[in-house]
Amino acid sequence: MIKKIAILTSGGDAPGMNSAIRAIVKKAEVHGIETFLVKEGYSGLYKGDFVLSSKIDLDENFANGGTIIGSTRFPQFKKLKIRKIAKSKLDEKEIDALVVIGGDGSYKGAQLLHELGVKTIALPGTIDNDISSTDFTIGYDTALNTIVHAIEKIRDTMKSHRRVAIVEVMGRGCGDLALFSGIATGSELIVTKENPKTIDDIAKVIKEQMIKKGKRSTIITVSENIFDDLYALRKEVEKKSGIITREISLSHIQRGGKPTAGERIMTTLMGIKSVDLLYKGKSGIALGMLNGKVVSTPIPESLNIKRKSRKNLTEKINKINQI
């Protein structure tokens, strides 16, 4: 019987993490389970930095962005001796189970703890939408809306001065934020890892849009880590196209902000499900949303699901948006 559950957030923060924490705590209370919050992710777990959930007003903070309990990247957790110390910290508090909210690296940490005998459930907390066992990751919808609103504002000023903007968005190796924000904003060119473009390609699109078609603005939406130097890219594109160009990296504003309604609903349902599974003795499980329903997948399987290609869709949208 589960009597105590700990909760941690790991990796990059994502809007919706706080509402997931609140749902876990509330559902645990229904079963009479005591809950602890781990400060600063796996680093805090290793240090035994726990606080009773009753010490934090989750009702007041669940709709806020970021993570109220902090998060870090802690690569040292790959070492067995570090994980054994972390497990000993849970044992000292007689904590029976752990819910981890984070990305694929956080999932791997949860699986390794599961193999040490800790009951674990993982929730997909990352704005990148790069976990294939779920349609949407926690934070993705909010980040997408943030990007769309930013590009709309950038478009306004580009139109006013007849200019081009190269807008870099997050996503790591996943192009979903670039692709779907590009669809939502009518970006004339979307560049992702699956659909790379050269400087000449970009300049050609700009000339066609601004000179041949006479548009007053062109937006080039680019996934991060495609080009090493955004400023140098802008200078070369401007030189080859002959059109004044600006480069904008949206950077960390994409992670902030209050989670959307959809985000809050999804995280609440996942949080409830995580406690239900632990109460039934389940462990080593990753949760996700598929076709509007919460689903559970063994963590190793969730990490090995092949990502659906967006290449054809990106090419189709680029053609449509350039007409």
Strand-pair partners of 163: 217
What tokens appear for 119 in the block? 């009951």
Q: Give the pairing type, strands 217-223 and 34-38.
A: unpaired
Give residue for tokens 């948006």.
321
Secondary structure (DSSP) of 122-153:
EEEB-TT---TTSSS-BTHHHHHHHHHHHHHH
User: According to DSSP H, which parts of 119-244 are helical?
Assistant: 140-161, 176-185, 199-207, 230-241
In a 3-state reduction of DSSP, which class is residue 189?
strand
**Looking at residue 213, what DSSP letter applies?**
S
Instruction: Given the residues 13, 96, 104, 128, select the one marked as catalytic.
Output: 128
Radius of gyration of the chain (CA): 22
Q: Give the pairing type, strands 34-38 and 189-191.
A: unpaired
Give residue for tokens 């349609």.
135
CB 162 within 8 A of CB 210: yes
**Contacts of range 193-196, beta carbons closer than 8 Å, 24 or more positions apart:** 193/223, 193/225, 193/226, 194/309, 194/310, 194/311, 194/314, 195/311, 195/314, 195/315, 195/318, 196/226
- The Cα 32–Cα 117 span in angstroms is 23
What tokens appear for 165 in the block? 């903007």
128 assigned to active site: yes
**Can you count the helices (H) and strands (E) in the chain?**
12, 11
| Active-site residue set | 128
